[in-house]
Amino acid sequence: MAYNKSCRLMKVLEHIKEGKGKTQFSFETLPPLKGQNIQSIFDTIDPLMEFNPPFINVTYHREEYIYKEVGNGLLEKKVVKKRPGTVGICAAIQNKYQVDAIPHILCGGFTKEDTENFLIDLDFLGIDNVMALRGDAIKNETYFTAEKNGHKYAEELVKQIEALNRGEYLDDELQNHAQTDFCIGVAGYPEKHSEAPNMESDIHFLKKKIKNGASFIVTQMFFNNKKYFEFVDLCRAQGIDVPIIPGLKPLSTKRQLNVIPQRFGAELPDALIQEAIKCKSKESVRQLGIEWCIDQSKELMKAGVPFLHYYSIGRSENIRKVALEVF
């Protein structure tokens, strides 16, 4: 399959419409660690372009606290951003590949003013899809805390983006000014968000994000398609009628057997765990993960999902192997 560079920049909903019921390929990448150049990002994207992704998501990474020894047993607290560059990478992707780049934007670490300025930059760059997320608690803290004059939940962030789409800026004197035109995506959790007391409550707040202006949902990764199908049914029963794009990641190491349930709240099916434990080499775990993900992808495709959205986590080889079998 050849990379078709004639793709037009569009909203996610328009891409879905243009797909005419055919499942399309998309993926998420992350900014490289500070100190690397843009080529390192292109190197992970290039091998996936032949599958013609209409859009590529770029994650946002908030600041972290690190503690540096400064002698006499004293520690200095420093705020660092290890993976900056989300906006620049999105602009570079749109420029180089002529496909939509979707930056993730967070509540965490942003005041409303920061958010507005971030959105203005995106608008000027011709980026008109965004994923609106709350973000997690900062490392070393247990609970998420919003900035003073920031947003506590993604639904509030969605509201601000929608206000800007109507030309309503934070400054009262700037009402009825240039309108932005963002198509907003939000996160959904087929196995419930870790902080939600139950699924009903989580879907209640997901519905609020849609009511406030979000147009599509991208799910957290899952390894059992049944969870996705049940989640979609629950959402539909609650009147959530926007596209729900499944997020997938191939298991690639034995360590992820512990990390994935803990960090992403995704349960791993017993059959997958048992097979992974039996694997005698790193390569055989990777192969197992790829095959599992191919099976998941094929079943979801058969069910008519609009996109299969893969979490590359900065590495494209495994996703490429899955896509070669599926697209």
Which chain residues interact with ligand FAD by CB under 6 A? Answer: 59-60, 62, 104, 106, 131, 133-136, 153-155, 187, 193, 195-196, 201-202, 205, 209, 218, 220, 247
For residue 192, the minimal CB distance to ligand FAD (Å) is 8
Which residues are CB-neighbours of 55 under 8 A, at least 6 positions away?
Answer: 12, 15, 26, 99, 100, 101, 102, 129
CA 274 to chain centre: 29
Residue 59, number of CB atoms within 10 A of its CB: 20
Compare residues 234 and 279 and give the one whose CB is closer to ligand FAD: 234
For residue 55, the minimal CB distance to ligand FAD (Å) is 13
CA 110/CA 115 separation, integer angstroms: 6
Compare residues 134 and 321 and give the one whose CB is closer to ligand FAD: 134
Compare residues 136 and 267 and give the one whose CB is closer to ligand FAD: 136
| 105 closest CA partner among 119, 95, 94 | 119
Residues belonging to the chain? 327
69 belongs to the catalytic site: no
Terminal alpha carbon distance of the chain = 9
For residue 116, the minimal CB distance to ligand FAD (Å) is 19
CA 162/CA 164 separation, integer angstroms: 5
For residue 294, the minimal CB distance to ligand FAD (Å) is 21
For residue 300, the minimal CB distance to ligand FAD (Å) is 16
DSSP element (H, E) containing 187: strand 183-188
- In three-state form (DSSP H/G/I as H, E/B as E, the rest C), the secondary structure along 268-320 is CCHHHHHHHHHCCCHHHHHHHHHHHHHHHHHHHHHCCCCEEEEECCCCCHHHH
Compare residues 42 and 153 and give the one whose CB is closer to ligand FAD: 153
Please tell me whether residue 186 adopts helix, strand or coil conformation. strand
Compare residues 3 and 82 and give the one whose CB is closer to ligand FAD: 82
Strand residue runs (E) in 2-141? 24-29, 55-58, 64-69, 75-80, 100-106, 129-133
Instruction: Catalytic residue, from 14, 18, 28, 173: name it.
Output: 28
For residue 72, the minimal CB distance to ligand FAD (Å) is 35
Compute the C-alpha angle 27/103/137, nearest 5°: 100
Compare residues 309 and 321 and give the one whose CB is closer to ligand FAD: 309
CA 11/CA 281 separation, integer angstroms: 43
Among all residues, which ones are annotated catalytic? 28
